[in-house]
Copies of this chain bind each other. A is one copy, B any other.
Amino acid sequence: MCRWAAYIGEPIYLEDIITRPDHSLVAQSVEATECKTTTNADGFGIAWYNERPEPGLYRDVYPAWSDPNLRSLAHQVKSRLFLSHVRASTGASTSRNNCHPFAARNWTFMHNGQVGGFEQFRKAADMAVPDDLYGKRLGGTDSEVLFLLALGYGLNRDPCAALEQSVAWLENQSRETGESPHMRLSAAFSDGQTLYAARYSSDHIAPSVYYRYSETRRGWAVVSEPLETNEDGWIELAPGKMISVTSEGLREMDFNPNRVEVAA
């Protein structure tokens, strides 16, 4: 299990999400409270958008709490839209290519969750990645495949349907291995304009997702765990739901991979 935090709104310093709040993402790398694995020390990453269509990407394999580069970057860089992640590996090796967020074209994607038995069908999953996206398959995680499959299914045209298809495909593979949980998902992703987040589980334990609008920042935070322990206004995203957030506001919709028919 991992932890993540994302933001969209008026440009703020990355540190306002990543290091300054009392339960900031870096604080959660030391001690997360809403998941079994409390330590998230197997690497980290940030992806941020400014003027260019494609994001900046900074990922490394150290614990987030001890990286002076991360601290300096977060202190110096402002962004109107960014994703940040601390990793606790569920199997794949500690390597920059396995750190979230993943980026392809103008898209970025990060994930917290599990796909039971993934190692058993990793080859099939790699095969399912479209040819023109295979150059972006750099690591060995289930999360990167989830992202690339979704891109192939049309993340650009219909983000919700594309991610549902990707999740359904992987969940179906997992069911064949018999290893549960088949799918636990809390993902955030963006095309550089809209921030999306989805929460879902094939069983009854879906990884937590919260969001909140800040009047002071004039922006939305979407996170694994509330960033301030004594702060009102954090809304829990219900399992089976997805949100899309822009400067115009937030829209919630159903996220239901089960309505997808997976080809044999």
Q: A-side interface residues toward B, CB under 8 Å?
A: 30, 39, 41-42, 48, 50-52, 55-63, 66-69, 72-73, 75-78, 89, 93-97, 119, 122-123, 126-127, 129, 131, 134-135, 137-138, 140
A144 to chain B, nearest CB (A): 12
A57 near B72 with CB under 8 A, answer yes
Please name the residue on chain B nearest to A120 by beta carbon.
B135
* Partner of A93 from B39, B131, B138 at Cβ < 8 Å: B138
In the assembled complex, the CB of A16 is this many whole angstroms from the nearest CB of chain B, namely 13
Copies per complex?
4
In the complex, are the beta carbons of B97 and A76 less than 8 A apart?
no
Task: Quote the shortest CB–CB distance from A90 to chain B (angstroms).
Answer: 12
Residue contact A57 to B69, C-beta cutoff 8 Å: yes
Residues of chain B contacted by A69 (CB below 8 angstroms): 57-60, 69
| Chain B residues in 8 Å Cβ range of A41 | 39, 41, 63
Contact pick for A134, options B48, B63, B67, B123, CB 8 Å: B123
- Which B residues lie within 8 Å of A94 (CB)? 62-63, 66-67
In the bound assembly, the distance between CA atoms of A61 and B73 in angstroms comes to 17
- Other A-B contacts than A51-B78, A77-B77, 8 sampled, CB-CB below 8 A, are A42-B63, A50-B76, A56-B76, A57-B72, A62-B62, A62-B94, A67-B94, A93-B96
Listed from nearest, the 6 A-B pairs whose CB atoms lie closest are A56-B76, A66-B94, A123-B134, A57-B72, A41-B41, A39-B39
In the complex where A126-B126, A131-B123, A134-B123 touch, is A76 in contact with B55 (Cβ < 8 A)? yes
A47 CB, nearest partner CB in chain B, Å: 9
A34 to B206, CA, bound (A): 33
Would A96 and B68 count as touching, CB distance under 8 A? yes
